A and B are shown apart, each in its own frame.
Chain A
């Protein structure tokens, strides 16, 4: 048995210091050494209904309590970065769709932003509006699906996920009308967007945005006050403000811990400075806060979408200087980042003046948000691990790349 009263075994839920080693709770744990008590080592994944893809966790349990968790990545490593370094800048665009396959539009945007910085391209006004509209629609469908999957992890098989996918299909219809593909949109280009909006698209989107609060109200009525949801989510997987900042957590996870950091506000990339929206913040940093924060963020997204759909000007959708063929940016480096639905998505590019990037690096929010999984899960029950993992919101395409 591990004696938690011993100072070297001290267990401090919610207040893990970032400087301490990750395995601090079980300093005596080793594969060779003599084991104390009944420890159960289990491998969770890669085929598991609640690991959101192919992700494995090596858990050590004492009874039902997690005393060690080691994430194992790489089951979906698809060589995205190396492939991108061997192809031209433009032909990496469809690969970015497949990073976080829920949010292809925001992935496109982050990559386009990095290349635009590298090549010094200006984005026309109409294209900026289209980018904001598609990005916020992406955020709506990502958060809706995430909550559906989280509820499925809780055991609510079907209903919340069905409702979320009902809304998602409506948004995917819009994406399909716009780009020709449901999921892999490949829509943004360096210096603008690929094609103009089809006729009637804005009207259809306005209708969707007007209808969306009904879905949110329904979802909230079903879930936020639900006794089971509250019992399973509140106080589970608390992330402290200090650890969140030190570990480089971004996105809804960071804001659920009470840190006011939204790249839409900080960087004001695109034309986000023209829109009024609030940044919701959590107070406890637990799973319930992360869940609620996403609900609130969806409402704020609607507040961005309404004026954007009203004010969208006419005009060109791509910079006239942008070259699609024989595109060779000048030597240099650039980092473009946006507030993707899962957190800070950044692309770091180094150009040597040739048609291919010399170095292409993705800063995936899912992977970096996942690095603190052990800190969140230590001391929790094994049944809560899937909930904590679900509330982190990962997509393995982005974690493993």
Chain B
């Protein structure tokens, strides 16, 4: 449509909008997180949904107790090796489109407990993380910033073409294999199709 027609329609009280923009606008402003607290960061997550920080301003205050009703998993706290299979299973139970925020140092990399024998060194070994929030624990403002970052990611997504989001592609997996407890570690210890370890590049 040419701009003259759009402005003519707008003058007559008709708003024209692309389906993609409308779809993304609706999705990005009603992200329902899973009420899923693991450790210390969960308290800051709760604080973010309370009156002072008021996550409801961003349409994300509806914490759902069931993964079947949630769009966003906020991994708030230390994921231990005992808990990791359950975290992946919860993610698999969420309907598409779904997103993951890794909240806090523990969820990103194991954080202060990284040297512990029972601590998963980053939830991105098993789940596709969209936004990482550093901090131990991150302030509620940081969680709000992460949510706004996620909203920006969602509203920039193309519904067609090669870079369309995961839930619209047929080649992307809808769920990820749940690790089991092996003799010494989780089996497998990481999802190697997903996890991209940080490469250290040195200049010559």
Write 9 A-B pairs (CB below 8 A) sorted by A numbering. A54-B37, A76-B77, A78-B119, A83-B115, A161-B46, A165-B51, A166-B50, A166-B52, A169-B47
The size of the chain A interface, using a CB distance under 8 A, is 32
Chain A residues, CB < 8 A from B37: 53-54
Query: Is B43's CB under 8 angstroms from A101's CB?
Result: yes
Q: Is the CB of A161 within 8 A of B50?
A: yes
CB atoms of A53 and B39 under 8 A apart: yes
Contact between chains at B80 and A76 (CB < 8 Å): yes
Give the chain A neighbours of B39 by CB distance below 8 A: 53-54, 76, 78, 98, 101, 396-397
* 18 more A-B residue pairs beyond the given contacts A76-B38, A77-B118, A161-B50, with a C-beta to C-beta distance below 8 A: A47-B90, A49-B35, A53-B38, A54-B38, A54-B39, A75-B82, A78-B39, A78-B78, A78-B80, A79-B115, A79-B117, A79-B119, A82-B116, A83-B116, A98-B40, A165-B47, A397-B39, A397-B40
Q: How far is the CA of A101 from the CA of B78 in the complex (A)?
A: 13
Q: Is A213 an interface residue (CB 8 A)?
A: no
CB of A79 within 8 A of CB of B50, answer: no
The 10 closest A-B pairs by CB, nearest first: A79-B116, A101-B40, A165-B50, A49-B65, A78-B113, A75-B83, A169-B52, A77-B118, A162-B51, A75-B82
**CB pair B38 A94 closer than 8 Å:** no
Determine the distance from Cα of A368 to Cα of B191 in the docked complex, in whole angstroms: 37
- Residues from chain B with a CB closer than 8 A to the CB of A169 are 47, 50, 52
The A-contacting residues of B in range 33-79, CB under 8 angstroms, are 35-40, 42-44, 46-47, 50-52, 65, 67, 77-78
Whole-angstrom CA separation of A182 from B36 in the bound complex: 21
| Chain A interface, DSSP helix/strand/loop, else mixed | loop
B153 contacts partner chain A, Cβ-Cβ < 8 Å: no
Encode B2-37 as 1/0 by CB contact (under 8 A) with A: 000000000000000000000000000000000111
A98 to B78, CA, bound (A): 11
Instruction: Judge whether A46 is part of the interface by a CB distance below 8 angstroms.
Output: yes
Chain B residues closer than 8 Å to A182, beta-carbon distance = 44, 139
In the assembled complex, the Cα of A169 lies from the Cα of B139 at a distance in Å of 12
Question: Which residues of A lie under 8 Å from residue B38 when comparing CB positions?
Answer: 53-54, 76
B182 interface hit (Cβ, 8 Å): no
Whether A183 lies near B44 (C-beta < 8 A) is yes
Answer whether residue B112 sits at the interface, using C-beta atoms and an 8 A cutoff: yes
- State which residues 131-149 of B face A: CB under 8 Å: 136-137, 139
